[in-house]
Structure 1
């Protein structure tokens, strides 16, 4: 069998879809005889009769229907390949790698990303989760284009768009403490109790700690939701972002032990590497985040703001 020509395959698909050689020629901006010749050539190459021409209108044979189903898959794949090549030639990223950190309020951020990437169907979103030092390590190692996490504003390696100031509330479940809580509770008071912390996913963990009490027994969990579950079940205490526990604080399932001895605030931001070449989609997302932040700020509803 000689090599199948893409032109002949497209003509065959058009005839099968439109129902006639005349309609296929019009759709392809080709003459009726040229479409007829292309289909005849394809049938000869395949050694198959693809159309039943005995009736008033042509129709696919059984072999033609089976072959057409596979041909449509091939044509779609070729169109995707063409789009992929055009995307590469135009400099538009094929994949954008984004990491969500443990501080990220997921529903609003995921909703924002869904709306943004709907406008860029040729760029695939590669989304992952990391905790503590993991997100920024991904940036440093060039394994991410953008992260939603905390970052030190003075770090010269990064530029960031501040999205919120998130209160990190130290909480316990009712009955966890054997004494009455007051604002005078100190880290020393809490040292005998198990403190729940987020497990660092960085391969090179730093010495930086976040609200850890020296000498306290600790249990580690992969994310904030698991941390909340342990605290609710009186297995530990710990700091949780305020946006995650609004309902539990309101209905008394969790009790805040915040006070002068337990300050806790984190800056939540979109972060990328400074002086790193950004593709057009990554740059569009960065600009979108700036307007998204400003829009929410004007409405007085910056995510997680306290």
Structure 2
């Protein structure tokens, strides 16, 4: 809608990304180098953590794409599986057979890893959102790591998750897992300078020339950085809304006023003047007086019935 207005051939802030829009900050480059070194060194478990939307999946995809020999890859994005479902999924991704028998599968997987070791071809098992993983399934993953450790860690297992994963791994029962982590990296949010570079990169890929005036003012960039917490996903949403607002008003440059207006509409910054929520009442606070009223009505009805039927019995006795 606004592409021609801003002289672009694509929408710059689509939520779905491709290789052209891939942006790597210095933090991302450090993370990529650390994880690649872990794969090359056959480090066993590799740990990648970061807040929601910081680019963990982007980093993993770039790592896989950058490996010299295309590895066998199993990417598990939804870890809420039963053990049998997990083994069936891994088997399908690695091109192995699975008849529902765990022992048979482990033998098949062992032979597969032996073949990988003989040919020098890596196998990657990447598990996203590990903090949601059932503990019994995590034990099975440790079993796979045991098989890999016997074969020079030819199977690299990536544990990818949010900040809660660090707390989970700190539990005493998971101490053996912590000791097996050969490489780890925590993905920090973008810096203020990175946010400017990220926005400029997206606009340039979408067709905006390098020598044209910056579409977003410096103050607008500062507000975007503060409000979004430098999370790329939120940056995309806010910038897209700001460009749409500017287009609707025939404004060629986006300033802080437009950003603040979009922030209010999107409720990203909160509303200090918003009324406080009505506190929830307990069961007795909610139903005490209605129950008292019901009991009172029942008592009145009981008195009325006793009087009524007592009077009827008296009248009947007069005719006996």
TM range (shorter): under 0.3
Larger relative contact order (CA 8 Å, sep ≥ 6): 2
**TM-score if structure 1 supplies the norm length?**
0.27
* Structure with the higher fraction of residues in strand conformation: 1
Q: Greater helix share, 1 or 2?
A: 2
TM-score by length of 2: 0.26
Structure number, greater radius of gyration: 2
